[in-house]
Amino acid sequence: MSSSTPPWKAIAARKQASRAARIPSKWLIPASALPQDPPTLQHGRQNVLNVPRQFLSRAEIAITEDYTVETLLLALAAGKLSCTEVVDAFCHRAAIAQQLTNCLTEPLFDAARQRATELDAYLARHGHPVGPLHGLPVSVKDTFNVRGVDTSIGLASLCEKPAADNAPLVDLLLSLGCVIVAKTNVPQTLASLDSVNNVFGRTMNPINRLCTAGGSSGGEGVLVAMKGSLIGIGTDIGGSIRVPAMCNGLYGFKPSNNRLPYGGQALTGRAGMSRTSVQAVAGPIARSVRDIDVFMREVIPRAILWGEDCMPCPWPSPSSSSSSIQGSGPNGELVIGILRSDGNCTLLPPIMTILNEVSMALSGATATTGTRIIVKELLTPRAWTRAQSVMSKLMGVDGGVAMGEMIKATGEPLVPWMQTRFRSGAPQPLERVAELQAQRTQLEREMLNLWSEEEAVDDALTGQQHPRRRRQTLDAIVCPIAPHPVPPIEGYNAVGMTSSWVLFDYPAGTVPVRPVVEADLELGRPLAAGTVLGSWDQKCRELWDEHVTDRRVYLDTPLSVQVVVQRGRDDWLCTVMGVIDEVIKAQSSSTSSASSGGVKARL
């Protein structure tokens, strides 16, 4: 390259060449199998989810498709499958996924194969697994340090600097028997709900290449959707686990703070800054709620042994029956609130439709699953509307100085989406940070009224009533993940429906419902007139304006809902997600036949 070529280009070329060299030649697929780039409506949505099956053996297809986390672990522990054959199958599928979607940053296939060989030898020698997750193929977001490989997070200035040690969470996973098959792609700055950077390029959505794969854990979402990993470890501060799960039709789980070790990751700001603003968390992306439950049951109770930031937290064994769950209803019913809007963005029709469908399914749950559920329509709390503003200001208290310096160090440009959104400036003074934290505390206090109410208690001496205690009146919230469907590339807009729950430190998860069908598009029907609520709302409306966006782009993309519970009730979130998922599937089964008009059933 000429002397005028900025350094980042040479670094990116070397990194991409190194990544390509780590895919065995026998796993390369022909150019004729690759999707058309750039994707257009004329080429169709180019769903590539099942393309790997053309290049896998029957055994590899069975290993990567037919097992849950639970059944795979049982087969490995019993010696019915070897770790080597399982890891080979998942690495092969991950290699194909990389060629189709560009989801990996660091293929770790050689190390994974060596690890699998050691695990097989251990089982043969000792007669028992090395740990409860013996042989489980997992992947981790590029932010996590893995000894001997880069933690570049898609920034040229962080490339070619291998990590000296594993992140605590990586060590925890290894201690339990996991095999890490790859690290996955992220967006530049980690501050985008897409996954594109100058070093590795863009990760593509495998279901619909016209739409975003989500971010910032987009590579994780894609790899798990492509079945190149059974569990993907992402991080979330604005929706970075829940959004990729939505975009790829998966289940995502954002825990409360201090549940999983978060250290040992690439710093995007000054060390310790998150303790003064808002903390991100690590969590899983998976194919089912049960997979999340089984995984977290082993990881969460042991997290305190590895993470200095973790607190003791038991995790009960997964329940076998949702009908035995006791909620806060008058007769033990599960009370679920439907929260439709944050007051900042208008819901586009497919999102309103899917909320209606889920609400109706939950209301009829007793008949379909035996679970007693009370569904409540909730008014938008003022605190939820205001939360996004406070959240955005807290996330920017460091001024983005460190990130700006890392980008400039090698002459990198900002990727297009960030060009109008990223500005580095002076850090906020302590007084301003304290003011924002005070606002946060007030919003947290106001949100309590959503979950419980004061109950008057008779005074035995005077006979008077005094509000002396609070009674739980709500067990969980179902709300949108975004006011729009999975948007076109570069089109993700509003983040308030995910980031606000981080401000409150509420655990939240993604549950997929069904894909967008032709009837959802309401072609030729404009969005109902209404007051534009602000700039976020205007951008959201443009995603439905047929003069701006061809609605056909949304066909087949997943529609999902978000489930939220109170701080610290992480195992309860998993339980409720399981109940809701069971109800949705039961309703889908009972209405699986086409309607009289031939339109696919809603659920």
Active site residue 26: no
Output the six-digit token pair for 114.
């060596």
What's the CA gap between 112 and 229, in Å, rounded?
A: 12
Residue 231, marked binder? no
**580 residue type, one letter:** I
Domain assignment of residue 456, yes or no: no
Per the residue annotation, which of 82, 139, 216, 322 is the catalytic one?
216
Residue 216, marked binder? yes
Domain assignment of residue 428, yes or no: yes
Averaged over 243-256, what is the pLDDT?
99
Active site residue 216: yes
Which sign, positive or negative, has the C-alpha torsion 263, 266, 272, 276? negative
pLDDT category of residue 468 using cuts at 50, 70 and 90: low
Looking at residue 542, which CATH number applies to its domain? 3.90.1300.10
**286 residue type, one letter:** A
Per the residue annotation, which of 15, 82, 139, 141 is the catalytic one?
141
pLDDT category of residue 470 using cuts at 50, 70 and 90: confident
What's the CA gap between 328 and 475, in Å, rounded?
A: 6
Averaged over 419-438, what is the pLDDT?
93
Mean pLDDT, all residues of the chain? 94
pLDDT category of residue 421 using cuts at 50, 70 and 90: confident
Q: Is pLDDT at 318 greater than 80 in this prediction?
A: no
**Low-confidence winner among 270-274, 302-306, 523-527 (lowest mean pLDDT):** 270-274
pLDDT at res. 420? 86
3-state secondary structure 366-417: HHHCCCCEEEEEECCCHHHHHHHHHHHHHHCCCCCHHHHHHHHCCCCCCCHH
Domain assignment of residue 332, yes or no: yes
What's the CA gap between 506 and 536, in Å, rounded?
A: 23
Averaged over 516-537, what is the pLDDT?
94
Q: Is pLDDT at 602 greater than 60 in this prediction?
A: no
pLDDT one-digit tens code per residue, 530-564: 899 999 999 999 999 999 999 999 999 999 999 99
What's the CA gap between 559 and 351, in Å, rounded?
A: 8
pLDDT at res. 603? 41
pLDDT at res. 599? 36
Specify the pTM.
Answer: 0.96
Return all residues near 435 (Cβ < 8 A) that are at least 6 apart. none
Per the residue annotation, which of 240, 274, 341, 499 is the catalytic one?
240
Residue 237, marked binder? yes
Residue 239, marked binder? yes
Domain assignment of residue 105, yes or no: yes
Domain assignment of residue 603, yes or no: no
Q: Is pLDDT at 598 greater than 60 in this prediction?
A: no
Residue 240, marked binder? yes
Domain assignment of residue 453, yes or no: no
E-strand ranges in 310-361 read 334-339
Active site residue 240: yes
Residue 180, marked binder? no
What's the CA gap between 603 and 591, in Å, rounded?
A: 7
Domain assignment of residue 247, yes or no: yes
Looking at the DSSP bridge assignments, the partners of residue 338 are 377, 478
pLDDT one-digit tens code per residue, 40-81: 998 888 999 999 999 999 999 999 999 999 999 999 999 999
Q: Which domain holds residue 390?
A: 7-267+275-442+473-590
pLDDT at res. 368? 82
pLDDT at res. 425? 87
Give the count of domains, the chain.
1
Averaged over 430-456, what is the pLDDT?
94
Domain assignment of residue 2, yes or no: no
pLDDT one-digit tens code per residue, 2-27: 567 899 999 999 999 999 999 999 99
